[in-house]
Every structure is written in C-alpha cells, then in structure tokens.
Amino acid sequence: MKKLVLGITLLFSASLLFVSCDKDEVISQAELPSTAKSFIEANFEGTKVITVVQDDDDLYVWEYEVKLSNGIEITFNANGEWLEIEADKDTDRLPDHLIPDAILAYVTEHYPNQGVNSIEKESHGFDVELTNGVDLDFDHNGGFIRVDVD
C-alpha cells in the first residue's frame, strides 16, 4: 500500500512539474520570427496585429498565436511557418489567396456557396473547415481525401 501511495505521489508531482513549465507570454510583433512577419505583411497588408502570444516551456518555443484586427487568428511554429489560419466567426471565410489552389478548386466545385473558415496543416496534409461547419481532409498536394466526421 505504501508503494502505491508513493507511486501516485511521484506521478502527481512529476505531472505538476511538467504543467508548471508550460507558459504563454504576450510578446511584440517585432519578436516574431522573420518568416511569420513576412507572411503577415504579404497576406494581410493594412491589417493590424492585435496580440502575439508565445507558447513555450522555458526551454523551447513551441508556437506563436497571432490575432489580427480583421478577426483572423494564425498559429505559427517556432520557425515562423504557419500551422493554422482561422477566421474568428464560424461563418466568416478566409481570403481565397490563402488556400492552396487545388483545395480552393475542390471547395468551389463541390461546395459553391461555402468558403473556407479555417485551414490547418496536419501530418496527412490539410484539415479544412468550411463556413457551413463541414470538415474536409486533403493530402499535401491538395487532393481530396474525405469528409471528416469526427
């Protein structure tokens, strides 16, 4: 019984240690990686950056979350490459120039009255949510895989 209590106590202590190391910190736009700054400047000219939050664990920066004045949120990895772009409201659409051509063509053909509300890079390719709430999965080349029903 003592070993069980000791084991649970050690497990709980270790989990608290890992959780307490994770932190979010508000930083300035100037502190973003240059790749992220260039992406914002090229794709959102005239749009103000409202907040930049750096998510790290004291040892390594995992990602940056950027909120723009037009309601779009962008998540960048530590190198400044975008991971996810999302419109604030579920019915808002992202600008077409942000969507890979093959994905945009598929959405336009199969969901003509809908727009892309969010796009996320994943291990299989892209996860796209439409303005009607439908989730679509695409491969790295923008080829349609399936409707995601998760």
What one-letter code names the amino acid at 50?
A: I
Asked if 17 contacts 10 with a C-beta cutoff of 8 angstroms, the reply is: no
Residue boundaries of the structural domains of the chain: 23-88, 89-150
CA 73 – CA 85 distance, rounded (Å): 6
CATH 3.40.1420.30 fits 23-88, yes or no: yes
The reply to whether domains 23-88 and 89-150 share a CATH topology is: yes
pLDDT digits (tens, 9 = 90+) for 111-150: 999 999 999 999 999 999 999 999 999 999 999 999 987 6
CA 93 – CA 116 distance, rounded (Å): 5
Is the model's pLDDT at 14 over the cut of 60? no
- For domain 89-150, which CATH number applies: 3.10.20.30, 1.10.3720.10, 3.40.1420.30, 3.90.1200.10? 3.40.1420.30
Residue 38 pLDDT class (50, 70, 90 cuts): very high
CA angle 127, 29, 97 (to 5 degrees): 40
Residue 10 pLDDT class (50, 70, 90 cuts): very low
Alpha-helical regions (H) of the chain: 2-21, 34-43, 101-110
CA 18 – CA 1 distance, rounded (Å): 26
